[in-house]
């Protein structure tokens, strides 16, 4: 009897250790194209850019945005957005008795999401905190326990990223000056931030891949000189990617680029990158020539790191949202991604998945965090969400699902 209990405990311990181990992830190329493998099995990314705590009135522009991973406003021991968001089923902008707390973790699982996109910059390292002083988004220990819960309860993996100087985060410079990839001091700061990320998370079971940057080649928006000095930027990216693979050979490195700029330069100066991530809002016949462009100029697998509807389907006068237009664009984009996978209907087979942009509407991005604004030029970040915050009075916990959420829920669960 004692021996039976012993072997039972030993078996349970072995199962626990196996579950707790980091996944071995790799990209492999065959005659059919590229695939991402997780522990030897094909893994096609059905991802979402999780926008987190978009609380009405708070903004990254003035350092009032809080990190969703630590906010527990009712002090009940549960992270609010993970477990306490609720669906406004009848869209009346108030919580009725039958509208129980669901939480975003469960809502993502229900939708069929298998991967989320995060950036790591919360850190317990005093040197890293010193690069991002006075901001609750960054200056605290990362909540690895919460990400373990995400993985254990839903199976959802994480693409963990470092902004690599975008928005001057981690480079240690000022917003006015912007990140300079030729500056050895800034390069050392950014490398330290990447080191912190990899050493903090590399043994966690939920890590799928590492991401570098976020369309840093768009200088005007990300406050870098990557577009002015693309060779210097590419060389630095290559140095970072090589370093990551030295200390963690089990998770591929993704470079997140804005569109297909500089692919020829990356091919020559950044060969250590494993996957090219592309933020793109093309949606004429899917992504059109993008797949062939990457295949010809860089020869790497493609991960669409952002896609969606660039111009919100909202009538500026009536403010009526055309949800079916949003559905049409998202469906067309996803079908194009899926068609370019290995075994898909279109060549080349270099697609390994995509991340929908974005989980919930970002009210703050057009400069007025208290209002759901429409910009004059039509491009707008505030209406991209698969879920709405309604009239905003129950922000940040109320969720009104749009038809695009239901569309993904149907096709990603097939």
Distances in Å between the Cα of 240 and the Cα atoms of 82, 126, 213 are: 32, 21, 11
192 vs 42: CA distance, rounded Å: 32
Specify which residues 277 forms β-bridges with: 256, 303
CATH assignment at residue 312 = 3.20.20.80
Distance between CA atoms of residues 304 and 223, nearest Å: 22
Cis peptide before 358 (omega within 30 of 0): yes
Q: Which domain holds residue 279?
A: 2-411
CB contact set of 413 (below 8 Å; sequence gap of 6+): 111, 112
Task: Decide: 78 and 66 in contact? Cβ < 8 Å.
Answer: no
In a structure prediction context, what are the per-residue pLDDT tens digits for the chain, which is 414 residues long?
454 444 444 444 444 444 468 999 999 999 999 999 999 999 999 999 997 688 999 887 777 788 899 999 999 999 999 999 999 999 999 999 999 999 999 999 999 999 999 999 876 667 656 655 656 566 677 899 999 999 999 999 999 999 999 999 889 898 899 999 999 999 999 999 999 999 999 999 999 999 999 999 999 999 999 999 999 999 999 999 999 999 999 999 999 999 999 999 999 999 999 999 999 999 877 899 999 999 999 999 999 999 998 888 888 778 788 999 999 999 999 999 999 999 999 999 999 999 999 999 989 887 789 998 887 667 777 899 999 999 999 999 999 999 999 999 999 999
Q: Domains in the chain: how many in total?
A: 1
Distances (CA, A) of 398 to 29, 103, 313: 44, 10, 22
What gap in Å lies between CA 402 and CA 70, rounded to an integer? Answer: 27
Q: Which alpha helices (H) appear in 170-216, and where do they start and end?
A: 184-201
- Report how far residue 407's alpha carbon sits from residue 403's, in angstroms, rounded to the nearest whole number: 6
């Amino acid at each position: 009897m004692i021996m039976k209990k012993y072997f039972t405990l030993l078996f349970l311990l072995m199962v626990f250790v196996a579950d707790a181990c980091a996944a071995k992830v790799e990209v492999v190329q065959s005659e059919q194209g590229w695939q991402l493998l997780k522990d030897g099995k094909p893994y096609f990314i059905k991802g979402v850019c999780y926008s987190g705590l978009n609380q009405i009135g708070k903004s990254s522009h003035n350092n009032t945005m809080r990190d969703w991973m630590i906010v527990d406003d009712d002090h009940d021991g549960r992270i609010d957005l993970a477990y306490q968001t609720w669906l406004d089923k009848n869209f009346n902008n108030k919580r009725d008795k039958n509208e129980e707390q669901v939480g975003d973790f469960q809502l993502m699982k229900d939708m069929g999401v298998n991967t989320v996109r995060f950036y790591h910059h919360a850190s317990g390292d005093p040197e890293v905190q010193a690069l991002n002083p006075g901001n609750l988004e960054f200056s605290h220990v990362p909540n690895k326990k919460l990400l373990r819960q995400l993985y254990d309860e839903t199976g959802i993996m994480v693409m963990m990223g470092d902004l690599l100087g975008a928005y001057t985060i981690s480079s240690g410079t000022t917003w006015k000056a912007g990140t300079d990839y030729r500056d050895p001091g800034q390069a050392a700061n950014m490398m330290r931030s990447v080191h912190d990320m990899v050493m903090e998370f590399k043994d966690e079971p939920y890590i799928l891949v590492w991401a570098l940057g976020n369309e840093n080649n768009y200088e005007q928006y990300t406050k870098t000189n990557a577009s002015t000095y693309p060779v210097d930027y590419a060389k630095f990216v290559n140095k970072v990617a090589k370093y990551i693979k030295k200390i963690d050979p089990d998770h591929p490195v993704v470079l997140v680029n804005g569109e297909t700029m500089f692919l020829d330069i990356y091919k020559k100066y950044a060969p250590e990158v494993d996957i090219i991530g592309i933020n793109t809002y093309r949606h004429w016949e899917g992504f059109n020539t993008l797949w062939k462009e990457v295949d010809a100029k860089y020869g790497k697998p493609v991960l669409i790191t952002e896609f969606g509807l660039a111009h919100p389907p909202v009538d500026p006068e009536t403010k009526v949202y055309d949800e079916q237009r949003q559905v049409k664009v998202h469906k067309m984009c996803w079908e194009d991604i899926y068609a370019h996978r290995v075994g898909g209907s279109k060549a080349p087979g270099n697609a390994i998945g995509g991340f929908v942009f974005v989980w919930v509407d970002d009210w703050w991005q057009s400069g007025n965090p208290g209002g759901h604004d429409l910009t004059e030029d039509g491009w707008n970040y505030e209406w991209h969400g698969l879920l709405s915050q309604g009239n905003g009075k129950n922000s940040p916990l109320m969720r009104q699902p749009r038809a695009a959420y239901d569309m993904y829920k149907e096709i990603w669960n097939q």
